[in-house]
């Protein structure tokens, strides 16, 4: 694997992973934040981090947790925390936007990393443990030459209904996509977009608010976000499977 410094010297843009993990997962209804729940005996966050640590293109992976987080050290373990290509930043904010922006600033200030303005940052939800190196590689391959950046997403295949004012209408699904992560944008472009945006639910929303158009790259159903208790069983099926069903193309 190329080291961050070797890529820097060769003039190539590098790829960094940023995983905001400061949320409490209130919709799960448990005392433990959802990113620390177990799948196949391994914390969800560890599954998520491992996908990036096992992707050769990723120069460095950073996890953003709250200052008072008491779970992350045990969840990632001594061996992971000792890695030179993994950092844990205790600078999470009250919102996703704050956590991501604080994490971007921490990446910039990490000694020896020297992140460049045009390096790529892949922001990924901590509670999407079904991500694979193949999906990450697919995103990088299809977005690396794009002017703006892009994200994994799934085209909507079900009929969509809208309920408003006591009426139900069918919404045309043509052109509708379900956003996933990672969402991959240049470091400076993402910082500027987040600084200019009001509160957003994902990074692509900030990019779109800046008048830019991200590329949508088809993801995979296994890359679901664990939000409700019922999601755990489905994520378990994907995580424990021997074939991820994801091909690079």
pLDDT reading at 7 higher than 70: no
- Residue-wise pLDDT for 100-158, tens only, equals 999 999 999 999 999 999 999 999 999 999 999 999 999 999 999 999 999 999 999 99
Say yes or no to pLDDT of 249 above 70: no
Question: Is residue 173 helix, strand or coil?
Answer: coil
Residue 78 CB partners (closer than 8 Å, separation 6+): none
pLDDT in tens, 8-46: 444 689 999 999 999 765 455 467 899 999 999 999 999
Q: Would you state the pLDDT for residue 28?
A: 52
Q: How far is CA 184 from the centre of its chain?
A: 9
Residue 173 scores a pLDDT above 80: yes
Q: What is the domain class of 4-240 according to CATH?
A: alpha beta
**Per-residue confidence (pLDDT) for residue 242, from 0 to 100:** 40
Phi and psi torsions of 50, nearest 5°: -60, -35
pLDDT tens per residue, range 191-226: 999 999 998 999 999 999 999 999 999 999 999 999
Q: Which of 59, 184, 163 is nearest to 120 (CA)?
A: 184
What pTM does this model have? 0.90
DSSP string covering 40-109: TTEEHHHHHHHHHHT-TTEEEEEEE--TT--SHHHHHHHHHHT-TTEEEE----SSHHHHHHHHHHHHHH
User: Using one digit for the tens of pLDDT, what is the confidence trace for 53-108?
Assistant: 999 999 999 999 999 999 999 999 988 889 999 999 999 999 999 999 999 999 99
């Amino acid at each position: 694997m190329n080291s961050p410094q070797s890529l820097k010297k060769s003039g190539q843009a590098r790829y960094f992973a940023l995983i905001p993990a400061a949320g409490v997962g209130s919709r799960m209804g448990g005392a433990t934040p959802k990113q620390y729940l177990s799948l196949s005996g391994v914390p969800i966050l560890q599954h998520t981090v491992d996908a990036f640590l096992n992707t050769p293109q990723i120069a460095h992976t950073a996890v953003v947790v709250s200052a008072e987080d008491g779970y992350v050290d045990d969840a990632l373990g001594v061996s992971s925390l000792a890695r030179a290509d993994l950092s844990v930043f205790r600078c999470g904010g009250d919102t996703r936007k704050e956590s991501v922006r604080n994490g971007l600033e921490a990446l910039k200030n990490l000694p020896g990393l020297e992140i460049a303005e045009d390096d790529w940052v892949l922001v990924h939800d901590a509670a999407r443990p079904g991500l694979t190196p193949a999906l990450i590689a697919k995103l990088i391959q299809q977005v690396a030459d794009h002017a703006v950046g892009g994200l994994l997403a799934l085209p909507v295949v079900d009929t969509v209904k809208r309920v408003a004012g006591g009426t139900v209408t069918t919404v045309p699904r043509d052109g509708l996509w379900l956003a996933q992560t990672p969402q991959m944008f240049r470091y400076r472009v993402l910082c500027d977009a987040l600084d200019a945006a009001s509160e957003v639910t994902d990074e692509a929303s900030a990019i779109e608010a800046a008048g830019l158009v991200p590329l949508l790259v088809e993801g995979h159903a296994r890359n679901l976000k664990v939000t409700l208790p019922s999601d755990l069983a489905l994520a378990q099926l994907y995580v424990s499977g021997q074939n991820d069903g994801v091909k690079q193309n």
